[in-house]
Structure 1
Amino acid sequence: MRTAYPSEEEVTTAGPLQPDVSYGLFARERIVAERGFNRWLIPPCALAIHLCIGMAYGFSVFWLPLSQALGIAAPLACPEEMSLLGRLFTTQCDWKIADLGWMYTLFFVLLGSSAALFGGWLEKAGPRKAGVIAALCWCGGLVVSALGIKLHQLWLLWLGSGVIGGIGLGLGYISPVSTLIKWFPDRRGMATGMAIMGFGGGAMIGSPLAALLMAHFRTSASVGVLETFLVMAGIYFVFMMVGAFGYRVPPSGWQPAGWQSPAGTKRMITNGHVHLSEAHKTPQFWLIWAVLCLNVSAGIGVIGMASPMLQEIFGGNLIHRPDLGFAALDPVQRGAIAGIAAGFAALLSLFNIGGRFFWSTLSDKIGRKTAYLVFFLLGIILYAAAPTFAHMGSRTLFVGALCIIVSMYGGGFALAPAYLADMFGTQFVGAIHGRLLTAWSTAGIIGPVVVNYIREINKAAGVPDDRLYDVTLYVLAGFLVLGLLCNALIKPVAEHRFMDVGTGPGAHETSVAGDLSHGIGRGGLTPTAALAWMLVILPLLWGVAKTLESAIRLFQ
């Protein structure tokens, strides 16, 4: 059934739209937008949260300092016979980087699982409460990790940043999705792209900031990570709380002035709403799940091996010594190309972020299904051509191909919430998106395992360094062929899956009539909106500048 809106007379007698202060400070009903609210204040709130939790991508900046937290100048090695359980509790020797890396794994396992578990609750509780809890978990996790450094207990780092912080990641990641889609039904892709771009950009800001803070706090008795965790926890908490308290939800039935829903067009956009309990029973959910999983598996495999891939394929070419393969380089030369490869990784991060906004915005014009069609067709061509570019010795073509591939990896994340809203409606899209993120967790295992496993087989078989990744790239192209087929099978959701009127979260909130906007959502770039945008854009621009400093070395 389709939503029925109240008459103009019913709205007029209902009185002015304003928050109901009888509800608690964090209640969803408390944050229903008033007349005159500017919807362009919502994306900066989402960015404020995503730019903070996005530091999860940049946590590797802490591994080396933490691996010598006791030795300071060099790691104080544990006995070889010490078990993992012993290393979790020891205070006598330094942690291994491999053991610290489990925090990174926990981040994304907990992100996907907590998003899936708490997505339904978020739709009822609203984005403010979810944002506040995300801030408490993410920043509280950093504080617990700081305590772990103080007591030299690895299990506290796993619990703090890994588990507690991972839950904060999941809640923070999905907290703005449903709200943004409801505020921007006319620009769903662009709105979610702006927020999810922030998650990709968080490491661009956080990594150089962490490096500066560790350098400032480093002494003969400390590597500076403990103090850095506490400072960053404080900064992040302020930004995330401002973002959470800035959230507002539109009244039920609201839409932008003069906008007409494109439901029923060839872009498969519905006006109905599928309940959370029904969405995962549809073939459309699992086809979109497969589309996201395959796209991410291919992209994350490249990102995870970007630095060694460039070094092993091009070897001495990177330092103008084409006569030298990777194996023939001396330690000084390997150090030089490692720095250049770091610039390549930085460049990929820029395309990852830019792709989230570019492709999601373009999808508002061409449709989500068509955008994924472009991803897969173009991706198949580029993955298949990349080995040829490498054999030609063309660093520019190889790097360009991978940059475009990674832009589509990021774009796939940004398109997913809008694709779900098109197919299942907006009332439960945040919760449905939370469940879809299990595809990310799955891809995070598949992609790196495939890339690493094939590389090791080739290495053992004596394949030359500059051809180690040929088969890998062809296999990843095969992933995209499967994704192309899954995307082609997606059709509109069957009519019987949609809910009856008035059964979703927010259905009891005051509805509006007339042009269905009633003066809400207008305003554009007002002084208040400009200030809100400046507070998130300036740190992001600083991060971009720092990243470009590193990336420019690739072409020197």
Structure 2
Amino acid sequence: MNRFENKWMRAVLPALLIHCSIGTVYCWSLFKGDIAAYMGQDVGDVEWAFSIAIFVLGMSAAFGGKFVERDIQKSSLLAAVFFVSGMAGTGFSIVQQSLVGVYISYGVIMGVGLGIGYLTPVKTLMLWFKEQKGLATGLAVLGFGLAKVIASPLIGKLLGARDSEGVLISPENIYIMFYILAGIYMVMMVIGHLLIQKPAGYTEAVVQGQKFNYIEVLKNRTFIGIWLMFYLNITCGLALISQEKGILVFIGFGAVGLVSSLTAIFNAGGRLMFSALGDQLKDRNAIYKLIFLLSITAILLPLLLDGNGALMTFLIIALLCIVNAGYGGGFSSLPPLLADRFGLHAISTVHGLALSAWAIAGLTGNQLATFVLDQTGSYNVLLFVIMALFGVAMLISIFVVKPGKVELSSEAMEQEKTLVTS
């Protein structure tokens, strides 16, 4: 059994199994129209299930951090139960043609599984990879980004053939798909639950006995700055990603599916690349400065060279790829940045609080893009707005999120010393 007691079997593999399962939430666009058609509902009404899921993800992470700190075995099992139950419940709700049931199953129940499951592997990975925390979290969050790439072909196969208008030839496949996926992800997440384990020598009692002051963290200038720049990065990313197809159609580029796959690869690759690069830098906040600078530059170039032709097409595709990479990199770089500022003693709790920014951005990102386009009808204006928000995030990163570890209370400092020595 000793050959299984290593960071790859006890941290990386379970993290990938859990995140590759819950990351399927980003496949929503592949079947939301089929759900609406089967239930006789407007796509806009069904769309709220996804928004609810992302909101509940962020909020369950915010309030579930201390539970994850206490026992990752229980949290990984709870994540599996909620996620799989929510997925199977979504299939049942579709059969019953209950829109409220879809909101509850896909949005609330699955959302809780998403939040707890997202948090569970992160601290364990950083404990196993003490000198490469960025690489560790990059590996975990990489699974969340890769989930869409891996699951999309399977979902297409399960949904089956379509007619000339894109309607499913076998409409019942939409709820059968949810039942099958629930079974597959139950196996994957249970295996992840059985494998995940913190390294020998880590004293669990340190976490169980600690007192965490939520107010102290929420009022902290550094935490507020990190929360805001994380929120702005997600909001800008979602605003652009949600309009990806429309922008490509507008410039006359027809291979939308090819670009969608390419941006998904950049999204996943950015999660690993940016966080791993952070391990080589003196201050991990420099990663966010790099993300914002690259994003601003990528947006500015097509705006300055406004026109048509092959160059403009290349610049737009490059823009979508770079923003997707920065969007993913912002997620994977967050836990090690928080660990550097606030220590490892309560990283799951602090990380969970920061993920509440994801909850709010999930409700505002898409809507921001829709509002700007409704008011102006111009993709150029939308790009200017997104660039301005990236600029604000850059200023926060430079002037608010200062280098150095945040001063902890005396009790927290003692717990941190105990954790390090153990």
CA-CA distance at 1:360 after TM superposition = 0.7
Partner residue, 2:260? 345
Instruction: Check 1:36–1:59 CA distance in 2 against 1; reply closer, same or farther (3 A cut).
Output: closer
Query: Among residues 124, 129, 148, which one is paired with 1:179 in the alignment?
Result: 124
Corresponding position: 1:487 with 2:390: no
Aligned partner of residue 226 in structure 1, secondary structure: helix
Quick one: structure 1 residues 253 and 61, their matched pair in 2 at CA, closer, same or farther if it must change by over 3 Å?
Answer: closer
Aligned runs of 1:63-462 on 2, under 5 Å?
63-69=32-38, 94-124=40-70, 126-215=71-160, 222-252=171-201, 275=212, 277=214, 278-312=216-250, 314-315=251-252, 318=253, 337=254, 340-366=255-281, 367-393=283-309, 394=311, 395-459=313-377
Are positions 1:44 and 2:3 aligned together? no
Equivalent residue of 1:202, what SS?
helix
Aligned partner letter, 1:174: L
Q: Name the CA distance, whole Å, in 2 between partners of 1:246 and 1:384.
A: 46
* 1:203, distance to aligned residue in structure 2 (A): 1.5
Distance of 2:390 and 2:168 partners within structure 1: 49
CA drift at 1:417: 0.5
Kindly provide the amino acid, as one letter, of the partner of residue 351 in structure 1: F
CA distance in 1, matches of 2:370, 2:99: 27
Once the two structures are superposed, the pairs formed by residues 514-533 of structure 1 within 5 Å of their partners are none
2:273·2:329 contact (CA, 8 Å) conserved in 1?
Answer: yes
- CA change 1:353–1:166 in 2 (3 A) is same
Indicate the RMSD between aligned Cα atoms, in angstroms. Answer: 2.7
Contact 1:216 1:224 in 2 (8 A): no
- Matches of 2:316 and 2:237, distance apart in 1: 15
Question: 1:157, 1:496 → 2: CA distance?
Answer: 43
Distance 1:152-1:502 versus aligned 2 partners, 3 A rule: same
2: distance between equivalents of 1:241 and 1:498? Answer: 39
Cα distance per residue 1:375-415 (max 9 Å; x no partner): 12222222222323452532112211321122111101100
- Choose 1 or 2 for highest CA Rg: 1
Q: Give the Å deviation of 1:62.
A: 1.7
Deviation at 1:343, TM superposition (A): 2.4
Contact 1:189–1:364, Cα closer than 8 Å, also in 2: yes
Structure 1 residues 389 and 240: CA distance shift in structure 2, 3 A: farther
- The answer on whether the counterparts of 1:390 and 1:398 sit within 8 Å (CA) in structure 2 is no
Secondary structure in 2 aligned to 1:499?
helix
- The Cα shift of 1:129 comes to 1.1
Report the TM-score, using the length of structure 2 for normalisation.
0.89
CA distance in 2, matches of 1:482, 1:350: 27
Equivalent position amino acid for 1:451 in 2: A
Equivalent residues of 1:189, 1:361 under 8 A apart: yes
Q: How far did 1:303 drift?
A: 0.5
Structure 1, 229-238 or 155-164: larger mean CA deviation: 155-164
Is there any run of 5+ residues in structure 2 with no aligned partner, and where?
204-209
Q: CA, structure 1 residues 65+452, in 2 after alignment: closer, same or farther (shift >3 Å)?
A: closer
Change (3 A) 1:36 1:345: closer
Q: Tell me the CA shift for residue 445 of structure 1.
A: 3.1
Structure-2 separation of matches of 1:407 and 1:443: 17
Taking the aligned partners of 2:121 and 2:307, their CA distance within structure 1 comes to 45
Task: For 1:160 and 1:445, locate their aligned partners in 2 and report how far apart those are by CA, in whole Å.
Answer: 18
Aligned to 1:84: none
Paired position in structure 1 for 2:207? none
- Give CA deviations for 1:295-337 in whole Å, capped at 9, x if unaligned: 112111111110001111x13xx3xxxxxxxxxxxxxxxxxx3
Across the two proteins, how many residue pairs are aligned to each other?
A: 405
CA distance in 2, matches of 1:385, 1:501: 47
Decide which structure has greater helix share. Answer: 2
- Maintained 8 Å contact 1:274/1:497: no
Q: TM-score, normalised by structure 1?
A: 0.68
In 2, Cα distance between equivalents of 1:437 and 1:223? 36
CA distance, structure 2, for counterparts of residue 284 and residue 477 of structure 1? 23
Q: 1:493-552 deviations in whole A, cap 9, x for unaligned?
A: 443535346658x97xxx897xx7xxxxxxxxxxxxxxxxxxxxxxxxxxxxxxxxxxxx
